Amino acid sequence: AMSSDDEGREEYLFKIVVIGDSAVGKSNLLSRYARNEFSANSKATIGVEFQTQSMEIEGKEVKAQIWDTAGQERFRAVTSAYYRGAVGALVVYDITRRTTFESVGRWLDELKIHSDTTVARMLVGNKCDLENIRAVSVEEGKALAEEEGLFFVETSALDSTNVKTAFEMVILDIYNNVS
C-alpha cells in the first residue's frame, strides 16, 4: 500500500469498498464524498468502478480508492474481484428500511470470506435526514456495531451529515494500522 512520489515523499493507496443492499445510498455517499454531488434519481451505476480521493495525514499523502458496486448487489453477484485487496469497508443500510439493516450480517460474512487481511469496517446508517420515517433506531445501529466490532455512524448523502467523517474515520484507522 505504500510507495514514494517523485520527491521521495511517502504515499499510501488504500482500497475501500462500499457494500450493502440495493438503494441504501452507496453511490450517493461516494459521489457526495468525492464530488460533493447528490442525485435524486436512482440510476444504476454504470462505468465508474471507483473514485480516488486524497487526504493528508501527518504530512503524508493518503489516497483512498473507493469502489462502488455497479448495481451487482441487486443480483447478489458482487464478485471476489470487487473485494480483492480491500483494506477498508463501509457497510451501509437505510435507516428507513429494516430489511436493509437485517442484511448487514450477510454483507459482513461476505466481506470476511473475500478478505485475506484486516479490514477497517464502518457500519453506516444512511438517510438520517428521513427521521420521520425511521425504522431502525440509533441504539440498534450502535449495538450491532459494538457486537461486530465496527465503527458506527449515521449519515445523510442528501444533506451531507457525517459523510466525510464516515470515509475519513475508515481511512485514518487503516493508516494507523499500517504506519
Binding positions for ligand GDP, rule: CB under 6 A: 22-28, 39-40, 42, 126-127, 129-130, 156-158
> What's phi and psi for 161, nearest 5 deg?
-55, 125
Q: Which is nearer to Mg ion, 25 or 141 (CB)?
A: 25
Q: Which is nearer to ligand GDP, 27 or 115 (CB)?
A: 27
Q: Where are any strands of DSSP class E within the chain?
A: 2-4, 10-20, 50-57, 60-68, 88-94, 120-126, 151-154
User: Shortest gap between Cβ of 8 and Mg ion (angstroms)?
Assistant: 39
User: Shortest gap between Cβ of 85 and ligand GDP (angstroms)?
Assistant: 21
Contact 2, 11 (CB under 8 A): yes
User: Shortest gap between Cβ of 43 and Mg ion (angstroms)?
Assistant: 8
Chain residues in the site for Mg ion (CB under 5 A) = 26-27, 45
Q: Which is nearer to ligand GDP, 154 or 173 (CB)?
A: 154
Q: Where are the alpha helices (DSSP H) in 36-162?
A: 80-83, 98-102, 104-114, 138-148
Among Mg ion, ligand GDP, none, what does residue 32 contact (CB within 5–8 Å per kind)?
none
Residue 127 to residue 24: CA distance in whole angstroms = 8
